[in-house]
Amino acid sequence: MLLAQADQICRNAGVPGIPVRTGPNRQARLGELALGKEGREVTALRALRWRELDGAVAVFAAALPHLEAFVHSRGRARRERLDYDGFLTRWQGRAAALGLDLCSRFGFAY
């Protein structure tokens, strides 16, 4: 039951990837859209109160300040982007280990 709910949350929060080969303003705008959706996704996943998922969601939540810094730099803070991507990769792995197929695939084609 929790697995299906978590996958549905991830499906609903899927965001387009932030393309590398585009201008910094476009990257920042797409990052801004992702930040809003991913913030709501973290909140919804935490609301499930699924203990085994808590550690994975904490990794996902740790990615958001890096995305926010990237957005505020208007796409110029490359290190923040790389840190954000690193946390997302860890989140994907942990989500996949729990069987969350949609959480480990959607929105992470950066």
pLDDT digit string (tens) for the chain, length 110 residues: 888 899 888 888 877 677 777 788 888 888 888 899 899 999 999 999 999 999 999 999 999 999 999 999 988 888 998 999 899 899 989 999 998 887 877 554 43
Q: Tokens in use for 86?
A: 């690193």
Q: Position 12: which residue type?
A: N
Tell whether 110 is covered by a domain: no
**Residue 90's Cα: distance from chain center in Å?**
10
Looking at the 3D structure of the chain, how many domains does it have?
1
CB burial readout 64-87, b (16+ within 10 A) else e: bebbbbbbebebebeebbebbbeb
Enclosing domain of residue 22: 2-97
Tell whether 68 is covered by a domain: yes
Tell whether 73 is covered by a domain: yes
Tell whether 105 is covered by a domain: no
Report yes or no: 90 and 66 within 8 Å, Cβ to Cβ: no
Question: φ and ψ at 72, to 5 degrees?
Answer: -65, -25
